[in-house]
Structure 1
């Protein structure tokens, strides 16, 4: 198996795309395989970006996934459903307009965590509803 170099920076657009794909394609009791991410929202990202994102999302508790490793590299990835935390994050960033505005606000800080993105998105939603 060939070792690939992967940029170890989490791409928030890829995070959103993977979560959208899991929500749209997951069937209860089944698992998605990597081919399920080659079409749809995630198709604009490289295989390495998608793999890295899935690994991080599983680690953070946003998705249920099984990752098999060989020699320190992911060999097989199966993705189940979103977790409660994954649903909460996706619910805040699903709308394209809200997502764009969230990223615009976040860009002022340079780099922010997913939890901060969720907080910003929640603030953007609150503002758009006139609740602030």
Structure 2
């Protein structure tokens, strides 16, 4: 199964929208237009990457079942740079042109776009 960066962003935004850590969790049913297997797999990947805290169970017969319940510091940092829809769109377009990219590259590309935007609005070079 391939990583779906749009799904990654949706999961992170959904987790952030939780009012408190204890209130709820994000599961496959919370993400529209994606099946349970795909969402659970991406929650698993996000937990492996250190972006979220999650409960992950691996079953031989049924695959991965995962519930996400909190962003980590790194998860908040990554979401902050990809939150803006325009920045996210530009980041995806830039990454596609590179034909290969990683989480770190996406983060760095989005940060660069945000810095450019700040410089344009303030005239202060970062």
TM-score range, shorter chain: 0.7 to 0.9
State yes or no: 1:19 paired with 2:12. yes
Alpha-carbon deviation of 1:30? 4.3
Q: Which residue of 2 aligns with 1:4?
A: none
Q: How large is the Cα RMSD of the aligned pairs?
A: 1.8
State yes or no: 1:65 paired with 2:54. yes
May I ask how many residue pairs the two structures share in their alignment?
A: 120
The two structures have a TM-score, normalised by structure 2, of: 0.85
Structure 1 unaligned blocks of 5 or more: 1-7
SS in 2 for 1:78: strand
Alpha-carbon deviation of 1:51? 1.3
Higher relative CO (Cα under 8 Å, sequence separation at least 6) belongs to 1
The two structures have a TM-score, normalised by structure 1, of: 0.82
Of 66, 72, 79 in structure 1, the residue corresponding to residue 68 of structure 2 is 79
- Does the Cα contact within 8 Å between 1:98 and 1:125 map onto a contact in 2? yes
Q: Which residue of 2 aligns with 1:116?
A: 105
SS in 2 for 1:32: coil
Q: Which residue of 2 aligns with 1:95?
A: 84
- Does the Cα contact within 8 Å between 2:55 and 2:67 map onto a contact in 1? yes
